[in-house]
Amino acid sequence: MITDEAEAKAWLRSLPQCDETAWDRLDQLVALLRDENERQNLVSAVSLDEVWIRHVADSAQLLTHVSRETGLWLDLGSGAGFPGLVVACLQPERDVILSEARPLRCDWLRGTVRKLDLMSVRVAEGAVEKQVLEPATVISARAFAPLPRLLTLSARFSTPDTVWLLPKGRSARQELAELRGWNHTFHVEQSWTDGEAGIIVGTLAGRKGKSRDQGRDC
């Protein structure tokens, strides 16, 4: 378990993806976040006191659940860019889509992508139910929507091989236990940054009792 800022930084430094360029990008991302948070509430002000554990390491831990292949990573409800921007900093060769509905957040995301020189990242602006996006290798969503709603909105971006990584905090086990109507392999992994938090991990095969194409309809 990662318990403080020093441990978070040390753990990040130990990741095979975290070379000096990646570290410099993460450090710049934190600085940009602090600056922008004075203009719009990207994250809670109190969480900035533990930004490396609460946002950076919390995002980076998702990489431990997927291979190092470079398929498309779709981050739904990206908001301040977590986990999507952290993934992109650590794997700049991976295509990443940051899906976000709020225009001000999208403006900040696009500006941050340019400043960090993340050439493989694009921002998809607009409500997720109206977006037309290609199937992803990985789908992440952090504090975006309750699990049934999330799957209804975004299952069409998934294939049977897509890995879903859904940080759910304390509600992870309850949300998964209450999920009905979907064929899936989801299970809960313990978060490394919060002893009471869980991450829903797995694949999705579609709605029960429907064909694959029907299961991907919103």
pLDDT tens digits for 151-209?
999 999 999 999 999 999 999 999 999 999 999 999 999 999 999 999 999 999 999 88
Note the pLDDT of residue 133. 96
DSSP state letter for 83: T
Average pLDDT, the chain: 94
**Rounded mean pLDDT, 25-34:** 98
Distance CA 130, CA 100 (A): 11
145: helix, strand or coil: coil
Distance separating alpha carbons of residues 142 and 147, to the nearest angstrom = 11
- Which pLDDT tens digit goes with each residue over 87-136? 999 999 999 999 999 999 999 999 999 999 999 999 999 999 999 999 99
* Confidence (pLDDT) at 68: 78
Model pLDDT, residue 212: 47
N residues, the chain: 218
Asked whether residue 59 carries a pLDDT value surpassing 50, the answer given is yes
CB of 191 closer than 8 Å to CB of 182: no
- The closest of 27, 28, 29 to 9, measured between CA atoms, is 27
pLDDT recorded at residue 210 = 65
Residue 69: pLDDT band (50, 70, 90) is confident
Alpha helices for 2-146 (secondary structure H):
5-14, 20-36, 51, 58-60, 84-90, 103-115
DSSP 105: H
Compute, in degrees rounded to 10, the torsion defined by CA atoms 139, 144, 149, 153.
-50
CA distances from 172 to 82, 127, 147, 183, 190 (A): 18, 24, 9, 18, 10
Quickly state the pLDDT bin for 67 (edges 50, 70, 90).
confident
Closest CA to 99 of 136, 68, 71, 48: 136
